[in-house]
Amino acid sequence: MAGAGTGSAVGSARLSDDQAISTYRLMSTSRELEVQLARTYADGGLPGWIHSCEGHEALAGAVALALREDDHLVPHYRSRPEQLGKGMSVRAIVAEVFGTVDAASRGRGGETHVSSVAHRIYGMTGVLGSNIPLGAGVAYASKMRGVDEVTLVSFGDGTANRGAFHEALNLAAIWRLPVVFLCDNNQYVELSRISDFIGVENIADRAAGYGMPGEVVDGHDPEALTDALTRAVALARGGQPSLVEAKMIRRRGHWEGDPQDYRPDDEPALLAATDPVPAYRRRLSAQRGVTDDVLAAIDASAREVVSDALTWAASRPLPTAEDVLGGVYHEEAGDA
């Protein structure tokens, strides 16, 4: 499953029917990936952790349409939809989650450190927010090289309280870096509500303090999100960084197995009303006349692509202890 990677959405113009269908395909694949990863993890078939991205799926379609193939993505640890949108295959993502030798990190990364240099996706470190100045650095490199590539750097709402966020936005503004800062605001910081930890209503309001535009967008709506990201990418290509805040709701626990006893009692109703994948499915049939057969075929193919990738990854070898120690020290030619 490849993202479009064309940078072909046009300002506030409506998506074409083809673009809308490819957006739904990415969203359906993204949801299926989360559902099957959670199930496999619950059955003991996966090492490490799963931090579900359910609720973030609209990002997959928007990233695919807003970014070009030669643009860069510096994701965070809950970014599988963005990685799919940037063109990574389900197999490549799943190889990293399972830690197999096929992964870009050759099994050293795990679920939270997905990267693919071929797709210009540079993975996350364990320190929240450390990717934000790295994203500004990638944008600085593009500027120094005189190329018109844009960097999209994403992070969670809680992470927007880290010092690195503020330092990177300030530098990007004064150096006019070709970067878009994307806050995936899913309302939760581990086991707490973000509203208990910020003194402004919107994280995007902070952009004004650095002299850059800030925009809040409905992160459940892939068309609004495509529109906002396309505009932000166009600004960045002209040397104007900005901050986009995509508001959504994390639909599962911080990690799979989190008892979630901190959720308000009325949240299940809100989650049912705001699920972005069925909402976009309904919209395609109501507004564009896409038939149920077409939508059902997309869902069936998403299920198949994901289950094929999981079966494949489960059969692939893990690195040996010797393999994972490789690359720690520089080896001179001729070293044993």
Ligand X SMILES: Cc1ncc(C[n+]2csc(CCOP(=O)(O)OP(=O)(O)O)c2C)c(N)n1
When the beta carbons of 60 and 284 are compared against ligand X, the nearer one is 60
Using an 8 Å Cβ cutoff, are 82 and 74 in contact?
no
When the beta carbons of 164 and 232 are compared against ligand X, the nearer one is 164
- Print burial letters for 215-250: b (CB count within 10 Å at least 16), e (below 16): bbbbbbbbbbbbbbbbbbbbbbbeebbbbbbbbbbb
Phi, psi of 166 (to 5 degrees): -65, -40
Report the residue number whose CB is nearest to ligand X.
156
Least Cβ distance, residue 323 to ligand X (angstroms): 26
Site residues for ligand X per CB under 6 A = 78, 126-128, 156-159, 186, 188-190, 250, 254
Token representation of residue 232: 């932000």
Using an 8 Å Cβ cutoff, are 70 and 88 in contact?
no
Cα 245 to chain centroid, rounded = 13
Least Cβ distance, residue 73 to ligand X (angstroms): 16
Least Cβ distance, residue 254 to ligand X (angstroms): 6
Alpha-carbon gap, residue 97 to 324, rounded angstroms: 15
Using an 8 Å Cβ cutoff, are 87 and 67 in contact?
no
When the beta carbons of 30 and 159 are compared against ligand X, the nearer one is 159
When the beta carbons of 61 and 156 are compared against ligand X, the nearer one is 156
Alpha-carbon gap, residue 154 to 158, rounded angstroms: 12
Least Cβ distance, residue 309 to ligand X (angstroms): 23
When the beta carbons of 127 and 270 are compared against ligand X, the nearer one is 127
CB atoms within 10 A of CB 40: 20
When the beta carbons of 15 and 128 are compared against ligand X, the nearer one is 128
Least Cβ distance, residue 161 to ligand X (angstroms): 8
Least Cβ distance, residue 184 to ligand X (angstroms): 6
